[in-house]
Chains A and B, each alone.
Chain A
Amino acid sequence: MNKSETQNLAQDTTVADSLSLRLPLPAGIDAAKAQAKTEAALKWVTPYGRLGPVATFVLPRRSR
């Protein structure tokens, strides 16, 4: 995987995809709302912003 492919993957990957969800969220769920609730809670417990760790989390799995 070259650098541009890596960048494209990172840009195309949604947050939900990135969190190693092997099963898709079913239709009818407002994913943005669910994510927003989680993001609001995460500010209390993690020093990281959401988008930083996502890329590093995704790429090794996608390159296997």
Chain B
Amino acid sequence: MIEDDIIDADLADLADALGRGAVSAEQVAARYSERVSLHGDALAAFVSFDEPGVMAEARSRDVSFRTSGPIGPLHGVPVAIKDVIDVAGQPTTACSALLKDNVATRDAQVIAQLRAAGAIPFGKTTTHEFAIGGPSFDLPWPPARNPWAPTHHPGGSSSGSGAGLAARLFPGALGTDTGGSVRNPATNCGLVGLKPSMGAASNDGVVPLSPSFDCVGPMATTIAGCARLGAAFLPGLDRWRDVPVRGRKVGLVRRWHRSDFDASPSMDGAFEAAAEALGRAGATLIEIDPGPLGEYSGTAFLIRMAEAYAIYRRDMAERPESFGALTLQRIAAGAFISAADFIDAVRHAETLRTRWDAASADCDVVLTLSSFDPACPIDDLETFEANYGRQARAPFNMTGHPAIAVPTGFDPDGLPLGVQLVGPMGGEAACLAFGAAIESALKAHLLRPPGLGLGESAQLKPITA
């Protein structure tokens, strides 16, 4: 495997090459570290990056390989870690001044699972403060930038994981998703990002935001890469190729982005392109109506904010100057939720879960939009705030269903577009299989952001409407 191939390969192909000894872990780590040194600062993708530590671990993998072969299916694969997940000996800051001196004493369980599969933790990536308060310019670290348009937001809160992955600073990353924080950067950066079923991945060693909703999720440039990475901590994920698409049923939710909200024409076009791709793959398409998006999002908001406020209220009162302004403002909403309101919200969430299951009962997966708009300028807070609720991700943190963001192409300005597939509980493999049908038809994963030494992109026709 030549050096350019290392960067061009998706995570699954790279893992295969490492597993058969076609390339060494040290070569891979060195090549990606070189890209971090070239582009990491400009994209503000990392909070911390311990290159000597990464190289030492890579050499250790190579020693192990020579004596006993690959440790596991991710042998030697560098995986960047959102800076809310503990990696032993590394800082876990959550991009907050409150935690700027915090160093993890042990691995989070998902990190231990990654290491057991042979992966190498590859730095700690930028996040919105406590996975909620960004993009902010008043934190100890600047916000990550979108490689497709560095003036634009890469999505959040797993911002650095999305930005660095799109720029090929690493082949895979972990994010966390409480209201869409894996799927938003995946959509904004043209990537695949999976929020697993609630409870499927361990939250041990993860800075909490809303414990009822928090999920660790894998991010990669392709469906196969996302599946390979996620299989290290989500049992059964590697069986996604066994799930058929032909002859199966896909629910389509158009009301959320056409009636409840008015999505941008390019995102609406992305939805139709994905639906058409699934139809061409042999799936039967069925329009479904799960009820108003605002009812799902509003109920999820109450639970998320009440739980976040419960965690951070003491620090908010005693050390408010240590928070970014956006974090304080967002979490403050939780101060206005009484115990009775919270209980009402929790009960209503159960009603909505039942409603969603009834609406999607005949479907193997459901197609929705992820974001209703492409990425906006990172310093345009007014537009950012206006677009903040224009998304269909938060409902599934509340219902608990697995959901995956899949790229579909680009708008006329070159900004990534994407959709979301929602599976039944435990149906991550179905999300991946139907996502692969979209990927195979639309080939958005073949494109590369400009100006980052990634070569010429394949030229795809922009999606307009």
Contacts and interface: CB of A to CB of B under 8 A. Distances in A.
Interface in B304-335: 305, 313-314, 316-318, 320, 325, 328-329, 332-335
B320 A27 contact: yes
B348 A29 contact: no
Contact of B301 (A41, A53, A57): A41
A30 interface: yes
A16 interface: yes
B335 A34 contact: yes
B137 interface: no
Interface stretch (B10-18, B54-62, B93-101, B291-299): B291-299
A45 B328 contact: no
Contacts of B340: 46, 53
A30 B345 contact: no
A31 B332 contact: yes
Contacts of A23: 313-314, 316-318
Interface residues of A, number: 29
Contacts of A9: none
A37 B6 CA distance: 47
Given A33-B329, A35-B336, A45-B345, A26 B316 contact: yes
A15 to B, nearest CB: 7
B34 interface: no
B341 interface: yes
Nearest to B329: A29
Main secondary structure of the interface of B (DSSP, over half): helix
Contacts of B295: 44
B354 interface: no
A42 B294 CA distance: 11
B244 to A, nearest CB: 37
A25 B323 CA distance: 13
A61 B168 CA distance: 57
A31 B320 CA distance: 14
Interface string A39-50: 111111110000
B102 interface: no
A44 to B, nearest CB: 4
A29 to B, nearest CB: 5
A39 B302 CA distance: 10
Contacts of A20: 338
Contacts of A1: none
Given A34-B333, A37-B333, A57-B338, A24 B299 contact: no
Given A44-B299, A45-B299, A38 B333 contact: yes
6 contacts: A29-B329, A35-B336, A38-B301, A38-B336, A41-B301, A45-B298
